Amino acid sequence: MNRRHLLTRALALAAASLTLGGCDSGAERRVFGVEVAAQALSTEPNERGWSVQLERAHVSVGPVRFYEGRVLLSRRAPRFDWYSLLGGTAHAHPGHYVPGDALGEVLVTRTVDLLGEPTSLGDASAVTGEYGSMELSLPAPTATTDAQGALTGHAVRLAGTARNADGGSVRFDVVTDLPAPVAGVRFEKSLGMEAGHVRITVDLRKWVDRIDFATATDPDTDGIYTFPAESQASNALVRGVEDTTAYVVTWEEGAAQ
């Protein structure tokens, strides 16, 4: 075996040894369940004055990775948000975030019905330690991960009705995809060998809060509207789904459902 092959093998072994837990020799290997649920959508109008009722809410979830790096909020005034020019609201931006060492991961991808019961993603391979954050992938599904075709090939699908105070009503069936995982979701936990599981709760209100449903167009023969690409509604939905505060991560006692 030549020198290049020896070096490549040594680097691969070193990377494998640091995959979980970094260089903390005191960490113990463990597993814990991970499940996804949703917070019920309130009937209060969103930022654009629309009350939203969902009939369908599906999302493709996984892999999920946990890191030691904590999410720090910036003390500076938030930078100008060009999205506000499209009718949205400028929100505070997270501050400095470095993921640090990976402490756990669950590598499966599942389609989750957010209007149903909590869905288990399976067990995360992990180590004990000081957890600070999570990275959530919402990829386009495959025929295997979405056997029922609920997502029609997209990461997120929402359907329902939005109404405003002027009597406007929009029946919608919309999809969206994210260009990258949602990184820097807060999860602070000193994790030992105690029994329990992680629950990721999706705040559906934050997904739809910025949407002006008046910008939905192109209804089909049944009067169902979509969000055209580059419309305010489409951009607002993406902003909502990629908002790290739309995901609340908690440690729960007992096994995942």
Cβ proximity of 27 and 128 under 8 Å: yes
Among residues 30, 35, 1, 14, which one has the least CA distance to residue 249? 35
Residue 19 has pLDDT above 50, yes or no: yes
Cα diameter, the chain: 76
* Token reading at 41: 């959508």
β-strand partners of 159: 56, 173
Residue range 200-232, pLDDT digits in tens? 999 999 999 999 999 999 899 999 999 999 999
- The mean pLDDT of 104-127, rounded to a whole number, is 97
CA dist list (Å): 165 to 21, 51, 52, 146: 53, 9, 12, 37
Which pLDDT band holds residue 43 (cuts at 50, 70, 90)?
confident
Element (H, E) at 105: strand 102-106
Cβ proximity of 165 and 51 under 8 Å: no
Q: What is the model's pLDDT at position 4?
A: 45
Q: Which of 75-84, 88-97, 108-117, 141-150 has the lowest mean pLDDT?
A: 75-84
- The mean pLDDT of 11-16, rounded to a whole number, is 38
Q: What is the model's pLDDT at position 25?
A: 61
Distance CA(12)–CA(4), nearest Å, equals: 12
